[in-house]
A and B are shown apart, each in its own frame.
Chain A
Amino acid sequence: MDLYKLTAHELHDKLVSKEISSVELTENVYSRIDEVEDKVQAYVTLDKENAMAQAAKVDAKIAAGEAIAPLAGIPGAIKDNICTKGLLTTCSSKMLSNVVPIYDAHVIKKLRADDAIFTGKTNMDEFAMGSTTESSYFHKTYNPWNLERVPGGSSGGSAAAIAAGEAIWSLGSDTGGSIRQPASFNGCVGIKPTYGRVSRYGCVAFASSLDQIGPITRDVTDAALVLNTICGKDEHDSTSLPVDVPDFTKALRADVKGLRIGLPKEYYGEGVDPKVKAEIEKAVKTYESLGAEIVDVSLPHTEYAVITYYIIAPAEASANLARYDGVRYGFRAANATSAPEMTRLSRTEGFGPEVRRRIMLGTYVLSSGYYDAYYKKAMQVRTLIRRDFNEAFEKCDMLLTPTSPVVAYPVDGKMDPLSIYMLDVTTIPVNMAGLPGISIPCGFADGMPVGMQLIGKVLDEETVLRAAYTFEQATDFHKAMAPLGGNK
């Protein structure tokens, strides 16, 4: 039986009823990995030995009649910027290519406490800076729907692993769309929680005011289950919100009657591929037929969001990545004759071109003489972007947009950096305002999955989960399997 195709909640039921064992399931996922990984290349590191040992422990618990958590015994993949004690965590960078963390990220601790199983660490754009997973130091990852195309990014490995059946659930991180866009490109569900919902402790810092960890899964129920495990206050993260975590599965009701769904007109403009737009419009019709009320709204500062992000995120990154000095951990260049030279050579050889570009852009906008013109100005525009959302939410309960203006594009597309940056216009504003956003599959264009994004109010994951679940119950898009077609 192809257990690797099932969802976590289906597999949990089979584990509890003893129809299958966790060892059997975990073996099945690894044989799928053996079968397709050379095509997809979703992983940087696999950890079968520990995964199998963990699976045997869960089976013993079940045999002893103990109750198990919803993710217990179910194999999931972890983005390689989330620290796993004793298991290589590289951020897909030469800089961290040899680093074995001495502690677990908060989310990993919580997942371990629930007996979840980790298949391995997934490939990503170096330091999560990118939208294609092409900037990984190790190798590219290929889209299971068409191996000639990118899986998106930066959590491209985590999304491709789900689409290819190489894990049942996965974790990604999202600074400007890095969970939602790859989820959309791979026909998966991906949610970026409200900023502060999930502790960032142990997630390698990129842009600290924007970074947030979240799940990528096959359906909305699994996303809610992973959220239940990873959300919550953590003393190790000063931006972790001291709020209660609801049982997100309680929000999963197929009912959108009277729900006011806002369509921000700026997200449906010229840059959106007409074929993508057509699928989104069909989804809107579906919601209408299910009793939701569709409202036109406007987020007038949307056109400024991308450049604002490309000032703020690099500024924060230039500070966060200053720690990589070749002294305490990570890559050190050989043959330096002085400590300052060692730091400079280690950083130059250890970081790839995109990371270097963003560090320098950040350094520039923070440097004296330019701070007010760029960084302060961007933070002020960020306030205006937040206000736009607040005003829109006076007229509606949530927003519906394309997750990305395009479907997954060809590998080695040779686009210049700015053109690629512009494609993040639909996901970036959500991080700027700290809002929860989910991407769910809603159709196909040119044989590639199209994702729609639902954006909620601060801490209102429940409304977007309910709306996502309602759509999923009414459609079959989430059930389609990636064909692994195309020649790489």
Chain B
Amino acid sequence: MKVTVKDVEHIAGLSRLTIPESEMEKFTEQFNQILNYADILEKIDTEGIEPTPYVLPISNAFREDVPQPGVTHEEALENAPAVYNDGFKVPRVIE
């Protein structure tokens, strides 16, 4: 077992998710199945191999620094679940 139920709870917390208790055992089992399979990577010697985060040869993408119209205040609020005056409304942030 690479990860226990307790580990999965911790990862869920970091991910801002809750795994229902009824699914926990199966979820942990599937999680372990995938991580166990990842052991095959240990067979490969990657000493000194550069990682590939992106395949492109470009590192920076610049454009002319000219102001352009952006999203309006009204548009930004269009899909908000709750709005108060001109802003996004959320429940209490600090206890």
Contacts and interface: CB of A to CB of B under 8 A. Distances in A.
Given A344-B16, A364-B11, A100 B23 contact: no
Contacts of A98: 79
A357 B35 CA distance: 12
B14 A304 contact: no
Contacts of A343: 16
B95 interface: yes
Contacts of B67: none
Contact of B17 (A209, A341, A344): A344
A192 to B, nearest CB: 13
Contacts of A326: 81
A241 B54 CA distance: 13
Interface residues of A, number: 71
A341 B53 CA distance: 33
Given A339-B93, A343-B16, 4 more contacts: A239-B56, A322-B16, A330-B81, A351-B17
B40 A363 contact: no
B91 A380 contact: no
B40 A239 contact: no
A386 B52 contact: yes
Contacts, number: 157
Contacts of A353: 23
A339 B61 CA distance: 36
Interface of A: 98-100, 102-103, 195-196, 209, 235, 238-242, 301, 303-304, 307-308, 310-311, 318, 322, 325-332, 336-345, 347-348, 351, 353, 356-357, 359-361, 363-364, 367, 374, 376-384, 386, 416-418, 421, 433-434, 458
Contacts of A377: 41, 46
B1 interface: no
A89 to B, nearest CB: 10
A89 B50 CA distance: 38
30 contacts: A100-B79, A103-B71, A241-B56, A241-B58, A318-B15, A325-B16, A329-B79, A331-B81, A332-B82, A338-B93, A339-B91, A339-B93, A340-B16, A340-B93, A347-B16, A348-B18, A357-B31, A359-B15, A360-B17, A361-B34, A363-B11, A363-B14, A377-B46, A379-B53, A380-B52, A381-B44, A383-B51, A383-B52, A384-B44, A386-B55
A353 B24 CA distance: 12
A4 B76 CA distance: 39
B71 A338 contact: no
A421 to B, nearest CB: 8
A133 B93 CA distance: 37
A360 B14 CA distance: 8
Nearest to B33: A418
Nearest to A102: B75
Contact of B11 (A325, A344, A360, A380): A360
